[in-house]
Structure 1
Amino acid sequence: MPTVTPRCCGSMRLDASVLVQGERGTVEAPSIVYLIEGEQTILVDTGFGPVELMAEYHPSYRCHREPGQDLHSILDSEGLAPSDVDAVVLSHLDWDHCYGLDAFPEATVYVQREELAYAVTPYPIHADRYDATSLDREPPWLPIDLTPLSGETELCPGVTAFPTPGHTVGHQSVAVEEEGETTLVAADAVQTFENAPEDDPIPGQPMDDVAWWESATEVLDRADRLLPGHEWGVLDAEPVGLAD
């Protein structure tokens, strides 16, 4: 049976309504990566980039990393080296989910085809979230040999990637059959537990509200154990005070 371990790879400050529509104020959100260990070792998402670079590109987010929250340290604490990672699944190509890919030159890196096509030339309103070339930046995934997926795909026994568009054009989540139940790495299809009250999902600020609602509903229907993309409650970690 595969197992899933969520780990904090830093945190950032953002407006609460980005995570939960209608909320006010500023919150500190964790950046989470998920380690799946089964027939293959799979990492879901890789977090934001070097803090100094993020301060230049995204200063309002005040990105922060505590000691031990970088990818190398996370893997080392789990008894793994980057070369042990067989595959990386990028839930989507927002800047806070896809840096650090150069640490995994031997891994297959999966992304949904629709997400990749849009991220290459996003509308100007979305250029910043993709660190687009139109802003004279190099998206971290651009030099990487990505493997596009088209729809639901079994990556290895018990581990399935499937499209959950809405948050972005080609967002995907990962379902893991774990001890007879489905652990669902929702990523930003469901960003926090507050987005998932019974029977009536609440969005953050998705690109497509209708697609998001359909995806969130599917995620909640499939999940026995839900792992959102920015939820402190799934981590053995605490905020450091970025929202103060």
Structure 2
Amino acid sequence: MTYEIHAIRYGQMDRMRRDNFLHLDDHDGPMPLDFFIWVITGDHGTFVVDTGFDQTVADRRNRTLLRPIHAALEATGTDPATVKDVIITHLHWDHAGNHDLFPQARYHLQEKEMAFATGPCMCNHTMNRPFEVEDVQHMVKRVFEGRVCFHDGSKEIAPGLSLHWVGGHSGGLQVVRVKTRRGWVVLASDATHYYENFEKAAPFPIVANVGDAVRAFRTLRELATSDAHVIPGHDPLVLQRYPSSGLGEGIVRLDADPV
């Protein structure tokens, strides 16, 4: 059993190197950030990883939305209305929006993330700033609708597809391990925003627990076939390192060998 994986860039923002590492970088300069969602397809169905943000949130947070999430998904032949499984790596604003797109989906979330996003840490603005309260409220609503599948640690949700808690960046951050034709690919999401965070064991500065963030780098290596099978959550280099899916600009195949 192997899967195809499409990485879809749907937004972007300008940043500097000093913004992307917990400790200041001595060689400052531009280091832009891309926003991605991912679509995993195989014999066991279609799995959407993260749900992005919409234009309202983009305007409020001064980010560039390159394409609405529904259009991004439709470019891969994915109809959001028919998706059965959505994996939320964590509940930050750029990963958990667009609440009405998946009316039939169950949402896969770590128990620790729901506890973190509704617990005492959210009384502090530094901790709650990466969250949109509406995203958290909608996830609570889905709980009461019976549409959230909670996980505690590691869980295989389909043959060759598993979720793994790492924490660090957010209290309940999880990564996604996928069996592909080239081996085990790990969608790291924000366990490593950029390749360089992972390669230098240098966490991104938005972090709930530094110790967990550093340990997450080791977990990524343990889960992936090689370092080249770890996919960062926001690095523009992803679009340079992987071949086009042939589905339009900003969509690449992660199950294919890097170019």
Q: Same fold (TM over 0.5)?
A: yes
* Aligned counterparts of 2:109 and 2:136: Cα–Cα separation in 1: 18
- Which residue does 2:133 correspond to in 1? 132
- Which residue does 1:32 correspond to in 2? 36
* Aligned counterparts of 2:235 and 2:222: Cα–Cα separation in 1: 19
The answer to whether the 8 Å contact 1:17/1:204 transfers is no
Show CA shifts across 1:66-110 (max 9, x none): 2xx222112221122113322111111111111013200101111
SS of the residue aligned with 2:175?
strand
Show CA shifts across 1:171-199 (max 9, x none): 000000112511100000011111122xx
Letter in 1 for 2:231: L
The answer to whether the 8 Å contact 2:58/2:65 transfers is no
In the TM superposition, structure 1's runs of 4+ consecutive aligned residues that sit over 2 Å from their partners are: 12-28, 52-56, 137-147, 235-238
* Aligned counterparts of 2:123 and 2:13: Cα–Cα separation in 1: 24
Q: TM-score, normalised by structure 1?
A: 0.84
Please give the residue correspondences for 1:184-223 in structure 2 after superposition, counting only pairs within 5 Å: 184-197=186-199, 200-205=200-205, 206-223=207-224
Q: How many residues are paired up? A: 226
Gaps of 5+ in 2: 251-259
Shift of 1:15: 5.0
Please give the residue correspondences for 1:6-21 in structure 2 after superposition, counting only pairs within 5 Å: 6-14=7-15, 16-21=17-22
The answer to whether the 8 Å contact 1:192/1:231 transfers is yes
Q: TM-score, normalised by structure 2?
A: 0.79
* Aligned counterparts of 1:30 and 1:11: Cα–Cα separation in 2: 4
SS of the residue aligned with 2:32?
strand
Judge which range, 228-237 or 17-26, deviates more: 17-26
1:104 to 102, 105, 129: 102
Shift of 1:10: 0.9
Shift of 1:167: 0.7
2:50 to 39, 45, 51: 45
The answer to whether the 8 Å contact 2:8/2:38 transfers is yes
The answer to whether the 8 Å contact 1:15/1:25 transfers is yes
SS of the residue aligned with 2:168?
coil
1:171 to 160, 170, 173: 173
* Aligned counterparts of 1:26 and 1:49: Cα–Cα separation in 2: 25
SS of the residue aligned with 1:215?
helix
* Aligned counterparts of 2:75 and 2:204: Cα–Cα separation in 1: 33
* Aligned counterparts of 1:123 and 1:219: Cα–Cα separation in 2: 31
Shift of 1:17: 3.7
SS of the residue aligned with 1:96?
coil
* Aligned counterparts of 2:94 and 2:29: Cα–Cα separation in 1: 21
* Aligned counterparts of 1:123 and 1:230: Cα–Cα separation in 2: 27
Please give the residue correspondences for 1:73-88 in structure 2 after superposition, counting only pairs within 5 Å: 73-88=71-86
SS of the residue aligned with 2:39?
strand
Identity of aligned pairs, percent?
23
CA gap of 1:70–1:55, structure 2 versus 1, over 3 A, is closer
Letter in 2 for 1:44: V
Shift of 1:64: 0.9
Gaps of 5+ in 1: 239-244
Show CA shifts across 1:39-78 (max 9, x none): 121011111232x33333x2xxx21122xx2221122211
Letter in 1 for 2:53: F
Show CA shifts across 1:211-237 (max 9, x none): 111111110232231111101122266
